[in-house]
Amino acid sequence: MTSTPAARKSAWQRIYLELKRARKYLQSPGASLGGVLVAAKRTLEHRRDVKLRNRAARDAYPALPVAVAKDSFMLVRIIGNDLEPRHRKGQSFDNARFILDNEPAFPDCDKFWIVNRIADPDEEARIARLLEGRGQSFLRIPFDLEVYGRIAWDIDGLAAKELRFSGKNDQPAELTARYETLIRRSKNRYLMNNNGARNKALEIARERAKWLMPWDGNCFLTEQAFRQIRWAIEARPYLPYVIVPMARIVENLALLDENFKPPAGEEPQIIFRADTTELFDENYAYGRRPKVEMLWRLGVPGPWDRFRDDTWDFPRPSLAADAGLFHKAGWVARLDSGRSHLEIGKAGFLARWTSRDEAIVDMIDRCDALATAARLDPSRLVFYDDAVLAAASQDHDVELRHLETAASEVLNRPSGPDLHQAGDPARLRHVLHDATVLALAATVLGEQRFAVDAAQRIRAWFIDPDTRMHPPCSQQSVFALGDLHFFLDAVRLVERAGGLNGQDREDFRAWLGSYGKWLITAPATEFGNHGVVSDLQRASIAMFLNDGATLARVRLRARERLAAEIASDGSLLNQTSSLHDTMLALQGWTSLARLLSSVGDDLWRHQAAEGQGLIPALRRFAANIGSQDNETIDRDLARPVLFDLACHDPETTTLADIGAMTARQLFHPDQGIAPFWFWRTKF
C-alpha cells in the first residue's frame, strides 16, 4: 500500500503550529497573543527567505573559485586553562592525550593545536611536551602576566546603583555571580581568549584547507562521526557553514565502542568553508556566549534564543549576510571534564553554569594575585618616601630640630600598655604615632637609641605574649588602627635599623596576619568611612605580608567603593554634612590612593561612569573650606589633603598657603595625620 502525501498546510496553519511551539517558551507574563503571532509569522517568513537563499547558493556554487578545490579539512583544537571547580585540574592534558591515543587519522584532514594562554607555566610546558613528543603541529599563544596586570576591571560602565557597595544586599545569587564575571570581563577576554584563539584557528586553517574546524580542545571525533560530516558536506557543498551537534561525555572509554552514539543536544561546533568571511566577535568573553554570538549571526536556532539578557550584556547581533546558509551534520563528543555530576541532566546544566562562573572568578582572581604580587616589595616604604627621608637628613635644620625634640618627648612617655587599657583606641593611636616619630628620628637623625625605644614599644603592644593586644579587636580598635599604614613603615625602618630580631619579626607578622584575618570578616566594615579605613588597613597589611591576593581584592573594591560612595559632584555619600568628617574620610581615601600607587595602581585619576572620582571630591572639599557659615576648620589640618589635590589635579593652579615645608609637622594622634607627613611619597 502506497502512502498518500499529506496536503500542504496553509500559511495560517503553519503559523498556528509555530505559535504552539512558541507557547512553552513564553517567559513574559505580559506577552500578548498579537505579539507572539507577529513573531511566529516573522519566523515563517525568515524560513521561506532562507529556502530561497539556499537555492540561490546552490545555483551559484559551481561558478565559485572554491568549488573546484578538493574537499580538505583542517581540525584546529584550542587547549585552554583548566578552570577549577568547573573542570578537574589536568583534564585538558588528559583529554589531549586521549585524543592522541585514540582518535583515528581522517582522510584529507590535517590536525593542528593551539595552546591558548595557559597561565600555569608548568601545565603549559607539560602540554607542549606531550604535543612535541607525539609529533603534533601547534601554536603557542603565551600568557603574559605583565600585560594581564595592566588590564582594568570593568567597573567604569556601571551605574552607582549597580555596584557592590550601593547598599543592595538582596540580589539573587545568580545575579551576583553574573556581576562578578561582568566586572572581570576584560581580564576574562585576555586570559581565556576564546574568540581570539578561534579567529587565529580560522586564519591558520584558511591557508591550508577548504573546510575549517576551529574547535574546542576537548572535542573528539569518531571515525563514523567524521564520515557523516564528510558525506553531508559532499551532498551540499554550496552551504558554507556546517553545524555539528555536540554530546557531553562522562566516560571517555565509551567512545571506543564503534556503535556508541550519544544524544548530541549541546551547544554545537561550527565548520566554516574557506571563502567565508565571518569572524568570532572578540568582545565576547568565556562564559557569556562567545560562540552563541556566532550562532545568532548565522541564524542557527537553539535554546540560546531563549536566554535572558542582562542590562549589561551586549545587544544581540544582526543576522550576517549569509545567515541561514548552514546545515547540520554528524556529531562531536566533548570529552570528560572530570566533573561528571555537572554533565548530566537539567540539574547538571544549572550546576554547570554556577560552577563555571565560580571557576572564572577564581581563575581571574588567582591571576590578579600573581600580577599584584609581582609588583610588591614588602621591605619598601609605601607611605613615606625613602629619597625624601635621605634628603631630610642633610637639609632643613628647623625640621631636624623639631624631629629631635618630638622624639625626645616620646622617650619620656611610658612605652608599655596598661593591661586594663589594652586595646583602648586612644592609647593605641598614641602608640602608633609615637613609634613612628621614633622610627623617623632613628632614620633621619641616625641615632640608634630612638630605634631601640621604638622596638620596645612594638614588642610591648604586638609581640610580647604577656602584654600584647590580642586580636580579634573591637570595632573601636579598627579606627584606632586606622594609622596602621604609616606605622608599618615605622616598623620597616626599625627593622632596617636592627631594632627587631628574627623572632620579633616572625611574631609581629603572626600578630598582623591574625588581625588581618579578623578584619576580613569583621562586621560593619563595608560601608562609608568604616569601609575605607578597613580597606586601608587590609592594603597596608597585605603589602607588609606580601599578600598579593588580598591587595588585589582591595584594588578592585576601592574602585567599586569609590563609584558607589562618592557622588558625581564630589560629595561623599553615607557621610554627615560635617566638613571635618569629610576631611577625615578624604584622609583615608588619599592614604589608600598613595599606597596603591606604590604598586602602579593610579586611584588618584580614576573616574567612574558618572564622573565619580577622588579628585572631584578633593576639589569640592577645597571649595567648601571657609564657605560654610556654621563650621570652621583648622587649615593646618586640611593642608595634607589640599597638598594632595595640588599634586594630582592639573586644574588646580592656585591653592593658598599649601607649602609642605612651612606646614605644621605634628598633630594630636586623634587627628589621624601621620607625623612629619610632608616626608610622605607624593604619589
- Tens of pLDDT, residue by residue over 357-396, are 889 999 999 999 999 999 999 999 999 999 999 999 887 6
pLDDT at 28: 45
Whether residue 237 is contained in a domain is answered as yes
Note whether 258 and 385 are same-domain residues: no
Residue where a domain stops, chosen among 345, 368, 391: 368
**Please, where are the H alpha helices in 313-413?**
345-373, 386-392, 397-411
**Residue among 284, 245, 252, 248 at smallest CA distance from 268:** 245
- Structural domain that includes position 44: 10-24+32-63
Residue 201's alpha-carbon distances to 140, 278, 335, 358, 506, in angstroms, are 12, 13, 20, 28, 52
| Cell reading at 582 | 569629610
Is residue 599 scored above 90 in pLDDT? Answer: yes
Is 305 strand, coil or helix?
helix
In angstroms, rounded to a whole number, what is the distance separating the alpha carbons of residues 393 and 381?
A: 17
pLDDT tens-digit map of 511-546: 999 999 988 877 555 667 788 999 999 999 999 999
Whether residue 158 is contained in a domain is answered as no
Beta-bridge mates of residue 139: 114
pLDDT at 30: 45
In angstroms, rounded to a whole number, what is the distance separating the alpha carbons of residues 60 and 56?
A: 6
3-state secondary structure 499-545: CCCHHHHHHHHHHHHHHHHHHHHCCCCCCHHHHHHHHHHHHHHHHHH
pLDDT tens-digit map of 424-453: 667 888 999 999 999 999 999 999 999 999
**Please, where are the H alpha helices in 341-384?**
345-373
pLDDT at 317: 95
pLDDT tens-digit map of 53-72: 999 999 999 999 999 999 99
Residue 157 CB neighbours (<10 A): 12
Note whether 295 and 272 are same-domain residues: yes
DSSP 63-98: GSGGGGSPP-EEEEEEE----TTTS-TTHHHHHHHH
Note whether 265 and 384 are same-domain residues: no
Note whether 497 and 626 are same-domain residues: yes
Q: How far is CA 528 from the centre of its chain?
A: 23
Residue at grid coordinates 618616601? 385
Lowest mean pLDDT among 120-129, 175-184, 571-580: 571-580
Residue where a domain stops, chosen among 368, 391, 413: 368
Mean pLDDT of the region 143-159:
91
| Cell reading at 280 | 568570532
Q: What is the CATH number of the domain that holds 483?
A: 1.50.10.100
Which helix or strand (DSSP H or E) is residue 245 part of? strand 241-248
In angstroms, rounded to a whole number, what is the distance separating the alpha carbons of residues 52 and 46?
A: 10
User: Phi then psi for 271, rounded to 5 degrees?
Assistant: -110, 135
Region of residue 247 (left: phi > 0; alpha: psi -120 to 50; beta: else)? beta
Residue 154's alpha-carbon distances to 158, 204, 251, 260, 608, in angstroms, are 8, 31, 38, 45, 10
Lowest mean pLDDT among 143-147, 308-312, 339-343, 550-554: 339-343
Residue at grid coordinates 586644574? 651
Whether residue 323 is contained in a domain is answered as yes
**Please, where are the H alpha helices in 412-501?**
425-444, 448-458, 475-480, 484-496
How do 241-248 and 326-328 pair as beta strands? Answer: parallel
pLDDT at 634: 81
Whether residue 92 is contained in a domain is answered as yes
In angstroms, rounded to a whole number, what is the distance separating the alpha carbons of residues 488 and 123?
A: 38
Whether residue 389 is contained in a domain is answered as yes
Note whether 294 and 386 are same-domain residues: no
Beta-bridge mates of residue 247: 333
Whether residue 161 is contained in a domain is answered as no
Lowest mean pLDDT among 32-46, 109-123, 194-208, 540-554: 32-46
pLDDT, mean over the chain: 87
pLDDT at 90: 84
Residue at grid coordinates 579605613? 533
| Cell reading at 580 | 571635618
Residue 324's alpha-carbon distances to 51, 229, 329, 430, 497, in angstroms, are 8, 18, 15, 75, 75
In angstroms, rounded to a whole number, what is the distance separating the alpha carbons of residues 81 and 143?
A: 11
Write 144-152 long-range contacts (CB < 8 A, 24+).
145/119, 145/367, 145/370, 145/371, 145/374, 146/371, 146/374, 147/190, 148/187, 148/190, 148/191, 148/367, 148/371, 149/368, 149/371, 149/372, 149/374, 149/375, 151/186, 151/187, 151/190, 152/186
**Residue 253 binned pLDDT confidence (cut-offs 50, 70, 90):** very high
Note whether 453 and 575 are same-domain residues: yes
Is residue 8 scored above 70 in pLDDT? Answer: no
Whether residue 167 is contained in a domain is answered as no
Note whether 582 and 503 are same-domain residues: yes
pLDDT tens-digit map of 497-509: 999 999 999 999 9
pLDDT at 165: 72
Top pLDDT among 257 and 85 is at: 257
**Residue among 299, 269, 321, 277 at smallest CA distance from 66:** 277
Top pLDDT among 667 and 356 is at: 667
Note whether 431 and 504 are same-domain residues: yes
Contact 494, 442 (CB under 8 A): yes
| Domain count for the chain | 3
Note whether 416 and 559 are same-domain residues: yes
Q: What percent of the chain is modeled with pLDDT above 70?
A: 83
Q: What is the CATH number of the domain that holds 200?
A: 3.90.550
Contact 332, 316 (CB under 8 A): no
Note whether 57 and 78 are same-domain residues: no
| Cell reading at 178 | 553574573
Note whether 460 and 484 are same-domain residues: yes
Region of residue 37 (left: phi > 0; alpha: psi -120 to 50; beta: else)? alpha
Contact 466, 474 (CB under 8 A): no
Pick the most confident of 478-482, 543-547, 646-650.
543-547
Residue at grid coordinates 592609647? 427
Residue where a domain stops, chosen among 336, 368, 400: 368
Q: What percent of the chain is modeled with pLDDT above 90?
A: 61
Whether residue 166 is contained in a domain is answered as no
pLDDT at 419: 42
Which helix or strand (DSSP H or E) is residue 481 part of? none
Is residue 29 scored above 50 in pLDDT? Answer: no
What is the per-residue burial (b if ≥16 Cβ within 10 Å, else e) of 178-210?
Answer: bbbbbbbbebbbbbbbbbbbbbbbbebbbeebb
Note whether 511 and 591 are same-domain residues: yes
